[in-house]
Amino acid sequence: MLVKNNLFLKLSIGLVLLTMIRMIVAVSIPLSPDEAYYWMWSQALDYSFYDHPPMIALWIKAGCLLWGNTELGIRFLGPLAALLGSIFVFFTVKDFNNHQADSDQKGVIAVLLLNATLTVGVGGIIVTPDTPLLFFVCVFLWACGRLLYTKSAQYWWGIGASAGLALLSKYTALLLIGALGLWCLLTKEGRGYLKTKSLWGGAFLSVAIFSPVIFWNAHHHWISFAKQGGRTTDWNPHRALQFLSELLGGQIGLSSPVIFICFVIGLFYLTRSVIQRKCNASSFLLWLMILLPTSVFVQHAFGDRVQANWVGLLYPVLAVITGLYVSKFLKTAIILGFAIVSFVYIQTIFAVVPLPAQKDILLKQLGGWASFAQLVNKSVPQDMPIISDNYGLASELKFYLPHRQIMVIGDRWQYFNLPTSSVTQGYFIRRQRTKKVSFLSVGQDDYFVQPTDSNGYAPLQEIVRAKGGRVAQYYELYDVNLRSNLVITGQSKFLP
């Protein structure tokens, strides 16, 4: 049922305006290497991919069907998903608050907090697998809230569908699904649902939606599962303090300092109510949705680095908890959060603060790709392929040079449904690894044929990627010969 009040109307207008701003930013900045890589997936659709499930490729494909292979096409669904996901969060808070008189106000707070984080503020523009994941997590939370408030088992179908789509976006969605499973086992209400057909129907629907990924992995030596799941076996406790500190610092940065404090306060109050057994079944579910994933991330930090964005799937849950339990620092948190997000937007487009080039992450990731591609285009004969062993670099070149043959080499490409290359000569480009122009040495296991008069290749020239006179990166170009067996192993492909 739609909310008919001024508060929700004002929120909706604000979200529409925010979405328009995000669309403007989306068309104003170049693609990041990862975005170009995922765009390349959308040009060669498959049931799954080496790194992640296929949702991000489908997401980008849909946008490109509307707006072509442009920055707007690639990013189009990101701002829209942030808008719709925010609406789902608003109604989720109302259900978890049992539609009490202050539910609308709490819902608005949760939505504003979520959008004031860099995770959504930037993640709603720069598309990655986290973009669709966050949207479907919002839908998943809403379906759980509907189930708990209405007591209608039919919402298990919505839970199953959103869970399957979240898994189709990124494997970490399994952590929230696992938390819901624990809730079913640990609570009387949850155990009651285990006897219903709707729960098992929803579970079957979730598996059915995810089944293409299982099918693809079964036909590709389970490589994607092994790549992502294999990280859980790492064990380096002597570096745990470093990894945990990085994880904590990353969350303070991605959420903004004051919003992070609000998240912690909300978790404190929720945990206290759980310990004192004063919480209801819905609050206990929210607590489990934080406890299980956090435990997994902390365990992983005892073996390897936890990337800050992995925790992003918890932000909708944290926003709901904070909206329900916190009343202090909220205005400051929201204002400061949006100020930080706004600064990132302005800095990305206009570079108003002249940061040192070597420390400017935005410059290194986004700066000068279009002009750099044209320099490469002029440096390589038109009848010769441009070769790279870096997926981000190769994908950027293909996006900005769609007419050129871009050839990729490396182990990962045997798992992609791309045209096989039998070409054995071309121009290899790579990022400069030292401050001085370096020699491309050839070893026994390299992709290159060793020249008869040398043990490697000397660079033909240095090519600079720069923006506004500031150097983002130096690259080197080589005229190389490739080993002929690359075509047999599937390690050399053409980008579509």
Q: Which domain holds residue 419?
A: 366-494
Tens place of pLDDT per residue across the chain (496 aa): 444 568 999 999 999 999 999 999 999 999 999 999 999 999 999 999 999 999 999 999 999 999 999 999 999 999 999 999 999 999 999 999 999 999 999 999 999 999 999 999 999 999 999 999 999 999 999 999 999 999 999 999 999 999 999 999 999 999 999 999 999 999 999 999 999 999 999 999 999 999 999 999 999 999 999 988 776 667 888 899 999 999 999 999 999 999 999 999 999 999 999 999 889 999 999 999 999 999 999 999 998 899 999 999 999 999 999 999 999 999 999 999 999 999 999 999 998 998 888 889 999 999 999 999 999 999 999 999 999 999 999 999 999 999 999 999 999 999 999 999 888 999 999 999 776 657 888 865 689 998 877 778 999 999 999 998 999 999 999 999 999 888 888 899 999 9
Judgement on whether residues 290 and 378 belong to the same structural domain of the protein: no
In a domain? residue 386: yes
Instruction: Tell me the C-alpha distance between 400 and 394, whole Å.
Output: 10
Output 284-289 pairs: Cβ under 8 A, ≥24 positions apart.
Answer: 284/183, 284/186, 284/187, 285/144, 285/148, 285/179, 285/180, 285/183, 286/96, 286/317, 286/320, 286/321, 288/179, 288/180, 288/182, 288/183, 288/186, 289/176, 289/179, 289/180, 289/314, 289/317
Q: What is the pLDDT of residue 231?
A: 65
End-of-domain residue from the set 297, 315, 350: 350
Q: If DSSP codes are grouped into helix, strand and coil, which group holds residue 29?
A: coil
Query: What pLDDT sits at residue 127?
Result: 97
What per-residue confidence (pLDDT) applies to 1? 41
Q: Let me know if residue 187 belongs to a domain.
A: yes
Same domain for 325 and 202: yes
- Domain match, 416 and 274 both: no
Look at phi and psi of residue 368 and say left if phi exceeds 0, alpha if psi is from -120 to 50, else beta: left
Residue 436 tokens read as 């001085």
pLDDT at 441: 80
The domain boundary residue, chosen from 350, 374, 397: 350
Domains contained in the chain, number: 2
Q: Is residue 356 part of a domain?
A: no
- Interacting residues of 71 by C-beta distance below 8 A, sequence separation 6+: 26, 27, 29, 30, 31
pLDDT of residue 437: 58
In a domain? residue 389: yes
342, 374: one domain: no
What is residue 435's predicted lDDT score, i.e. its pLDDT?
65
Same domain (yes/no): 324, 416: no
Q: Are 280 and 385 within one domain? A: no
Structural domain contains residue 80: yes
Whether residue 36 is contained in a domain is answered as yes
Show which of 350, 377, 404 is a domain's final residue: 350
Nearest alpha-carbon partner for 135 in 157, 159, 166, 110 = 166
- pLDDT confidence of residue 235: 81
Do the Cβ atoms of 370 and 467 come closer than 8 Å?
Answer: no
